[in-house]
């Protein structure tokens, strides 16, 4: 899509960075933001952003004294809070030993920027815009041989109508370290563009849970770039239920042997919501495994998208890469799109993909109704069972009830409107 002269947002980003030096990471990033992705680009064909070129949006100036409304969902969690895209240390917890939180200077920010630009997320709009407009890049480090008990709970909130928000977080787990991170997106802004870089060193392990529940009129374009080293493990689960348009995109690079990756997710869509889970997994070395399981439930005039790519390099023998997407339509006006993709250049691999889209099974529904269960309740039972196995498989037992409750709130709303 060519730069539309009426696209005031591109101009506002250029104006925002005009105060910085030409060789700063902000100015370098803004030089590459001259248009929104075209619908002719295959990865954006099913999730079009043309409407953003017609909106009057400007990057937010964070309010360091803004009050917050989101509260912790977990007793004893370590809270890290971003408001208006900026780290609020005054509203965050004291970190446990072996962990640190730093605001990066220009040199380290440039290093982080180039890691994104060397990846296939280099042209993602959030890469270029959020590096241009973020208040600062925040780095969370877990030191060697440190296993953090409990949870890190990262809460993103704030923003306002006609403003864009740009939190940027760099997470590094050093050798033999482990952590569980729960991220909650509760913004009020028109546009949210979170950036996240994750580096897992040798034998490091990270469990990640993301809950997208932004304002119903917001656009959230989340970009995550993850690098795995030898024997590391990354287990990620995303629940998308908020926002008018939410796209969570993760690119994962398996750079060390015997590492494993799970990128699972659920989207629950109603009214005219558009939810998109896009992943790209790059198996660059032998003896690694990856799995993607995605489930969707759609009502109203909503649309859902799963795009999952697995690329196996020529030397990446003994790769095991699996993809599966399933979606249930509760409305004749809802649409689910699935685009699993395998790109294999090695011959000794186990890779498979699949996708299904359909309605609730009539025989199962009839069976429950014949036992005296009302149709609304019967549908809820069947859909809950449809979601239960992926949540049980993907999420730590200690937070499964929280995820079930979050999913059921959205599910109840969808079902109530379809009966």
Nearest to 9, CA basis, from 48, 36, 31, 37: 36
pLDDT of residue 124: 97
pLDDT of residue 282: 98
Mean pLDDT of the region 31-41: 93
pLDDT tier, 204 (very low <50, low <70, confident <90, very high otherwise): very high
pTM, 2 dp: 0.95
Mean pLDDT of the region 39-58: 93
pLDDT tier, 6 (very low <50, low <70, confident <90, very high otherwise): low
Express each pLDDT in 336-380 by its tens digit.
999 999 999 999 999 999 999 999 888 898 888 898 898 888 888
In whole angstroms, give the CA distance from residue 27 to residue 18: 8
Average pLDDT, the chain: 94
pLDDT of residue 3: 45
In whole angstroms, give the CA distance from residue 216 to residue 136: 27
Express each pLDDT in 334-344 by its tens digit.
999 999 999 99
All residues at 6 or more sequence positions from 165 whose CB lies less than 8 Å from its CB, including other chains: 60, 84, 85, 156, 158, 159, 187, 189, 191, 192, 193
Mean pLDDT of the region 11-28: 94
In whole angstroms, give the CA distance from residue 67 to residue 400: 30
Q: Is 70 exceeded by the pLDDT of residue 5?
A: no
Ordered by start, the domain boundaries in the chain are 8-256
Q: Is 60 exceeded by the pLDDT of residue 327?
A: yes
Q: Are 55 and 63 in contact (CB under 8 A)?
A: no
pLDDT of residue 112: 97
Q: Is 50 exceeded by the pLDDT of residue 44?
A: yes
- Write a three-state SS string for the chain: CCCCCCCHHHHHHHHHHCCCCCCCHHHHHHCCCCCCCCCCCHHHCCCCCHHHHHCCCEECCCCCCCCCCCCCCCCCCEEEEEECCEECHHHCCCCCCCEEEEECCHHHHHHHHHHHHCCCCCCCHHHHHHHHHCCCEEEEEECCCCECCCCEEEEEEECCCCEEECCEEEEEECCCCEEEEEEEEEECCCEECCEEEEEECCCCEEEEEEEECCCCCCEEEEEEEEEECCCCEEEEEEEECCCCEEEEEEEEEECCCCCEEEEEEEEEECCCCEEEEEEEEEECCCCCEEEEEEEEEECCCCEEEEEEEEEECCCCCCEEEEEEEEEEECCCCCEEEEEEEEEECCCCEEEECCEEEECCCHHHHHHHHHCCCCHHHHHHHHHHHHHHHHHHHHCCHHHHHHHHHHHHHHHHHHHHHHC
Q: Are 154 and 183 in contact (CB under 8 A)?
A: yes
Mean pLDDT of the region 207-222: 97
Express each pLDDT in 187-201 by its tens digit.
999 999 999 999 999
Q: Is 90 exceeded by the pLDDT of residue 153?
A: yes
Q: Which residue has the higher pLDDT, 368 or 145?
A: 145
Q: Is 80 exceeded by the pLDDT of residue 2?
A: no
Mean pLDDT of the region 230-245: 98
pLDDT tier, 28 (very low <50, low <70, confident <90, very high otherwise): very high
């Amino acid at each position: 899509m060519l730069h539309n002269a009426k696209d005031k947002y591109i101009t506002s980003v250029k104006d925002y960075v005009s105060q910085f030096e030409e060789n700063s990471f902000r100015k370098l990033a803004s030089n590459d933001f001259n248009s929104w992705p075209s619908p002719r680009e295959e990865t954006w064909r099913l999730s079009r952003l043309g409407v953003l070129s017609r909106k009057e949006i400007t990057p937010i100036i964070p309010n360091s004294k803004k009050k917050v409304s989101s509260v912790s969902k977990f007793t004893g969690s370590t809270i890290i809070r971003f408001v208006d895209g900026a780290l609020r240390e005054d509203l965050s917890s004291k970190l446990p030993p072996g962990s640190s939180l730093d605001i990066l200077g220009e040199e380290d920010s440039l290093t982080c920027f180039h890691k994104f630009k060397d990846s296939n997320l280099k042209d993602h709009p959030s890469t270029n815009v959020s590096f241009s407009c973020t208040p600062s890049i925040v780095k969370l480090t877990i030191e060697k041989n440190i296993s953090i008990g409990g949870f890190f709970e990262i809460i993103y909130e704030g923003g306002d109508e006609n403003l864009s928000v740009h939190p940027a977080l760099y997470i590094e787990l050093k050798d033999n370290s482990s952590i569980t991170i729960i991220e909650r997106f509760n913004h009020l802004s028109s546009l949210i563009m979170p950036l996240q870089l994750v580096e897992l060193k040798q034998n490091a392990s990270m469990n990640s849970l993301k809950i997208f529940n932004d304002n119903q009129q917001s656009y959230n374009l989340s970009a995550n770039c993850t690098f795995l080293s030898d024997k590391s493990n990354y287990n990620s689960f995303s629940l998308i239920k908020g926002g008018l348009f939410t796209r969570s995109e993760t690119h994962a690079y398996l750079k060390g042997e015997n590492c494993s990756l799970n990128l699972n997710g659920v989207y629950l869509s109603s009214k005219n919501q558009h939810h998109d889970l896009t992943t790209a997994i790059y198996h660059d070395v032998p003896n690694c495994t990856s799995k993607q399981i995605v489930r969707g439930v759609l009502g109203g005039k909503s649309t859902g998208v799963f795009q999952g790519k697995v690329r196996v390099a020529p030397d990446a023998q003994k790769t095991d890469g699996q993809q599966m997407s399933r979606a249930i339509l509760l409305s004749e006006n809802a649409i689910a799109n699935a685009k699993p993709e395998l790109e294999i250049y090695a011959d000794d691999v186990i890779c498979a993909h699949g996708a299904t889209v359909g309605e609730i099974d009539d025989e199962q529904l009839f069976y429950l109704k014949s036992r005296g269960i009302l149709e609304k309740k019967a549908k809820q039972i069947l859909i809950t069972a449809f979601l239960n196995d992926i949540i049980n498989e993907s999420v730590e037992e200690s937070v499964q009830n929280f995820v079930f409750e979050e999913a059921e709130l959205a599910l109840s709303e969808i079902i109530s409107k379809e009966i």
